[in-house]
Amino acid sequence: MRFLRVLFDKMLQSKFFYPIKPVIKAADDFFFGTPLVTQKAPHILDNLDIKRYMSTVILALLPATAAAVYFFGLRAVEIIIVSYVAGGLVEVIFAVVRKKPVEEGFLVTGLIFPLVLPPTVPLWVVVVGIVFGVFFGKEVFGGTGRNIFNPALVGRLFITIAFPQIMSTAWLLPFSDAVTAATPLVMYKSTHTITPLLDLLFGNAAGSMGETFRLGIIAGGLFLMISKVSNFRIVVAYLGTVALLSYLGNMFLPASVAPPLFQLLAGGLLFGSMFMATDPVSSCYTKGGKYIFGIGCGFFTVLIRSFSGYVEGVMFSIVFMNAFAPIIDQIVVRMKFRPVARGTRGRL
């Protein structure tokens, strides 16, 4: 510990390391916390910091990650490492160029991104996806806190559209090397067979690496909501809308809309609603806006799943609603804080 302290102090002072000072500063802050004290009231501050905030998300993702490694072996570990290294490099380069501290939001992006990839994905595609996601999804807007879209989703969206062959045809069943093209949602769309719900819950179905073990995802999502890191409003609105719309749709259009319980458990809906739609930066910040955001996500998910060429709509719907989040917030704020005197020009 003392050795680290001396090392960081020397590196921060030396001219040789000046160009990569943000990186050293980030590592220093990571290990030792901050020496700053409050200047004015409030004299005491909450113990939560952004590192704790982000690492709570990682903690919540642990069951899903462990399941991915258990189901798909070392391949999953490889993909996660590649994602962290490639994305982290982009983050570090940007921090060095902008001379701003390395931001902690990447800790989550780097883990969420590999979890939504199919297990057969080539490593170079992982690199392309995460670099594109971090670069165009986050850094060009100014880093964590200023991004419009969820960076992990932007990366995933890019490679889905750019390499459809790789991304949507080669799935693996857990514990087997047999490549299949059928996820539960594909099977429903082509042959109307419903995968047993228990299989879905415990992960015995093809799908992206992190989204198969639904029990772990539910546990992690609940943990996040209880710890107040993610907001329950979006999750409740999202899942509720999907359940309601698929119930109604299945009643009137059983040919195209799947039943509600299957819809809730199949695909990436649970993972997307609990870990991606709740991203505080790219979703709405007003309480009412969060409900609208969730309802919108649910509506588009059911719409895309049932009536479009794609079998899965979670990713599209969240990115789509991300784009609308600022305007929803504006509307909610303008409705909540009305101009005091209306009707006259120049009035508030």
Partner 1 sequence: MTTKIQCFRLCLYIGVTMKPINLRSGYLFSHFSGKTDSRIIPITIPDKLTIPLSRGYGKETPVRVKVGQKVKIGQALSGDEAVISTPVVSTVNGTVTEVQKHALVIEPDKKAGDPVWAERPGWEKSAEKEIRKLLYESGITALGKEGIPSDHKSAPIEPAGLKHIIISCIEDDIYNITWSLLLDNERAAQVLKGFALLHAAYPNAVLHFAVDKRHAALLKQAERFRRDHPWLELYAVTPRFPAHTPEILIPALLGMDMPWGYSPIHSGIIVIDIQTVLHCYEAAALGKPLGERIIALSGPGFSENPHVRVRIGTPVSHVVADYLKQGVKSRLVLNSPLMGEALTDLSRPVDLTFSQIIAVPEKPEREFLAFMRPGVRRDSYSNTFLANFMAAAKKTDTNLHGEQRPCIYCGYCEEVCPVGIIPHLIYHNVLKINVAEFLLQLKIFKCMHCNLCNYVCPVKLPLSQGILKGQQKLIEAGCDPTIGMIPYYDLDGLTEYRGRK
CA distance 304 to 289: 22
Query: Within positions 12 to 31, which residues make up the interface with partner 1, using CB under 8 A?
Result: 29, 31
Read off the tokens for 242. 């999907």
Read off the tokens for 6. 């001396």
Read off the tokens for 210. 């992190």
| Under rule CB under 8 A, residue 158 binds partner 1 | no
Residue 282 in contact with residue 320, Cβ under 8 Å? no
Residue 218: which residues within 8 A CB-CB, separation 6 or more?
A: 270, 274
Q: Which of 7, 228, 253, 256 binds partner 1 (CB under 8 A)?
A: 228
| Under rule CB under 8 A, residue 324 binds partner 1 | no
Q: CB-wise, 259 or 326, nearer to partner 1?
A: 326
| Under rule CB under 8 A, residue 146 binds partner 1 | yes
| Under rule CB under 8 A, residue 199 binds partner 1 | no
Read off the tokens for 43. 């004299």
Q: Which of 22, 56, 149, 242 binds partner 1 (CB under 8 A)?
A: 56
Residue 126 in contact with residue 166, Cβ under 8 Å? no
Place of tokens 């991304």: 167
Bridge partners (DSSP) listed for residue 179:
172
Measured between alpha carbons, how far is residue 192 from residues 185, 258, 306, 312 in Å?
Answer: 9, 8, 12, 15
CB of 31 to partner 1, least distance (A): 6
Q: Which of 165, 164, 138, 161 is nearest to 149 (CA)?
A: 138
Measured between alpha carbons, how far is residue 330 from residues 175, 210, 327 in Å?
Answer: 48, 34, 5
| Under rule CB under 8 A, residue 78 binds partner 1 | no
Q: CB-wise, 105 or 298, nearer to partner 1?
A: 105
| Under rule CB under 8 A, residue 144 binds partner 1 | yes
Q: Which of 66, 170, 227, 232 binds partner 1 (CB under 8 A)?
A: 227
Residue 69 in contact with residue 77, Cβ under 8 Å? yes
Query: Within positions 297 to 316, which residues make up the interface with partner 1, using CB under 8 A?
Result: none
Read off the tokens for 235. 């999750």
| Under rule CB under 8 A, residue 155 binds partner 1 | no
Q: Which of 72, 83, 94, 104 binds partner 1 (CB under 8 A)?
A: 104
Core vs surface per residue 304-338: b (16+ CB within 10 A) or e: bbbeeeebbbbbbbbbbbbeebeebbeebeeeeee
| Under rule CB under 8 A, residue 327 binds partner 1 | no
| Under rule CB under 8 A, residue 181 binds partner 1 | no
Q: Which stretch binds partner 1 (CB under 8 A): 13-21, 44-52, 156-164, 242-250?
A: 44-52
Site string for partner 1, 263-292 (x = CB under 8 A): -----------------xx---xxx-----
CB of 285 to partner 1, least distance (A): 4
| Under rule CB under 8 A, residue 320 binds partner 1 | no
CB of 106 to partner 1, least distance (A): 12
Q: CB-wise, 193 or 344, nearer to partner 1?
A: 344
Q: What does residue 180 show for φ and ψ, rounded to 5 degrees?
A: -130, 160
CA distance 83 to 204: 25
Residues that bind partner 1 (CB under 8 A): 1, 29, 31-38, 40-53, 55-56, 101, 103-105, 142-146, 226-229, 231, 280-281, 285-287, 333, 337-341, 344, 346-348
